[in-house]
Amino acid sequence: MSSENESASKHPAPKGPDMRVTIAGVELASPVIAASGTFGYGVEFEDILSLDRIGAFVTKGLSREPMAGNPSPRIIETSSGMINAIGLQNMGVKAFIEQKMPRIREIPGLRVIANVFGFTIEDCIAVIEALNDAPGIDLYELNASCPNTAHGGMVFGTDPALLGELVKATRAISTRPLIVKLSPNVTSIGEMARVAADAGADAVSLVNTFLSLAIDPETRRPRIANVTGGLSGPAIKPIAVRMVYEVSKAVSIPILGMGGILKAEDAVEFMLAGATAVQVGTASYADPRAVENIATGLRRWCTVRDIPRVSDLTGGLIL
Ligand SMILES: Cc1cc2nc3c(=O)[nH]c(=O)nc-3n(C[C@H](O)[C@H](O)[C@H](O)COP(=O)(O)O)c2cc1C
Ligand 1 environment, Cβ below 6 A? 35-38, 60-61, 82, 84, 86, 88, 115, 143, 181, 208-209, 232-233, 236, 258-261, 280-283
Helix (H, G, I), strand (E, B) or coil at 152: coil
Average pLDDT, the chain: 93
Q: Which amino acid is at 297?
A: G
CA 36 – ligand 1 centroid, Å: 5
Beta-bridge partner residues of 230: 84, 211
pLDDT at position 5 over 80? no
CA angle 131, 135, 140 (to 5 degrees): 45
Whole-number pLDDT of residue 231: 97
pLDDT value, residue 52: 85
pLDDT per position as a tens digit, 272-281? 999 999 999 9
| Whether the predicted pLDDT of 8 surpasses 60 | no
* Mean pLDDT, rounded, for 78-107: 94
Chain centroid to CA 150: how far? 21
Query: Which listed residue (126, 146, 178, 195) is catalytic?
Result: 146
What average pLDDT does the segment 132-136 reach? 95
Residue whose CA is closest, atom 4 of ligand 1? 37
Q: What is the pLDDT of residue 147?
A: 66
Q: Which residue has the higher pLDDT, 11 or 297?
A: 297
In this prediction, residue 13 carries a pLDDT of 56
Q: Could you tell me which residues come within 8 angstroms of residue 72 by beta carbon, excluding any fewer than 6 positions away?
A: 225
Q: Where are the beta strands (DSSP E) in the chain?
A: 21-23, 26-28, 32-34, 56-58, 75-78, 81-84, 112-116, 139-143, 178-181, 203-206, 210-212, 215-216, 221-222, 229-232, 255-258, 277-280
112-116 and 81-84 strand pairing: unpaired
146 is catalytic: yes
Q: How far is the CA of 34 from the centre of ligand 1 (A)?
A: 10
Identify the structural domains of the chain with CATH numbers, from first to last.
3-313 (3.20.20.70)
Rounded to an integer, the average pLDDT of 241-246 is 98
In tens, the pLDDT along 168-199 reads: 999 999 999 999 999 999 999 999 999 999 99
CB 86 within 8 A of CB 69: yes
